[in-house]
Amino acid sequence: MAGGGLLPALKRTRFGLAVATAGTALALVAFIVPCLRVAAGRRNALVELDREIHSSRNAIPYERAIVLWPDDACFRLREYQVFLGEKPGLDVCNTASLFNEHPRMLFRQKYGFDPLGAIDDAHRAQPLKPEFVIGQQGSEGDTHAYAVVHETIAQMAGVPVIAFDPPSPPRVLAPGIAPRPSRVE
């Protein structure tokens, strides 16, 4: 019999429906158990990643600073501020967002300078300064442009500027500003 005739054949037997139900239940359990293991593994990996990010953020020695993290996960640092009330004086910036008009305008209003002020045709001719590279970008051009933005912010902000790129420890891009001890939060 082909697969389409299996259910009618089972219905004709005395225990056919019970056998079909039990078989379906076993197949469902065989499918769900590995899925639950995968889900638990992913949950553990996310918890560990969050612990690593939180630990790196706690290593920032400033109460007030600009934290540059060109990664979509920068929202995690904002979550710690909003939901846990931790380090509210840190201004977390995803460098990519500064290439959009509204975040760029807000940054300009807050700090008094354009973070993209040094981005022009001539910036491509400048040598790449590796100390201003944070993370990995999609292209060499993006890496260079982001590094120029990071350098501009570090030179003009007037507050400490932190390169954030877990699992590497945070590093200061404007080393002329000495850290003040953070209050225990």
Q: Are residues 40 and 66 part of one domain? A: no
Can you point out the beta strands (E) in the chain?
65-68, 90-93, 161-163, 171-172
**Which of helix, strand or coil describes residue 93?**
strand
Alpha carbon 126 to chain centroid, angstroms: 29
Q: Are residues 81 and 150 part of one domain? A: yes
Alpha carbon 167 to chain centroid, angstroms: 12
Q: What was the pLDDT predicted at 147?
A: 92
Say if 184 falls within a structural domain. no
Q: Are residues 158 and 95 part of one domain? A: yes
Mean pLDDT across the chain, nearest whole number?
A: 83
pLDDT at 20 over 50: yes
Q: Are residues 166 and 78 part of one domain? A: yes
Say if 122 falls within a structural domain. yes
Token pair, residue 140, equals: 């060499």
Residues spanned by the domain of 89 = 61-172
Q: At what angle do helices 16-58 and 75-84 cross, to 10 degrees?
A: 80
Residue where the block lists tokens 């553990």: 44
- pLDDT tens digit sequence for 108-165: 999 999 999 888 877 777 788 888 999 888 888 888 899 999 999 999 998 999 999 9
**Percentage of the chain lying above the pLDDT 70 cut:** 84
Say if 182 falls within a structural domain. no
Q: Are residues 91 and 10 part of one domain? A: no
Torsion from C-alpha of 41, 47, 53, 54, nearest 10 degrees: -170
Say if 183 falls within a structural domain. no
Its sign, for the CA torsion 124, 128, 131, 135, is positive
Q: What was the pLDDT predicted at 6?
A: 60
Q: Are residues 11 and 82 part of one domain? A: no
Give the β-pairing of 161-163 and 171-172: antiparallel
Q: What was the pLDDT predicted at 125?
A: 76
Half-sphere exposure (CA, 13 Å, Cβ side) for 68?
A: 28
**C-alpha–C-alpha distance, residues 79 and 123, integer Å:** 34
- pLDDT tens digit sequence for 51-76: 898 888 889 999 899 999 998 888 88
Q: Are residues 151 and 95 part of one domain? A: yes
Q: Are residues 94 and 24 part of one domain? A: no
Say if 130 falls within a structural domain. yes
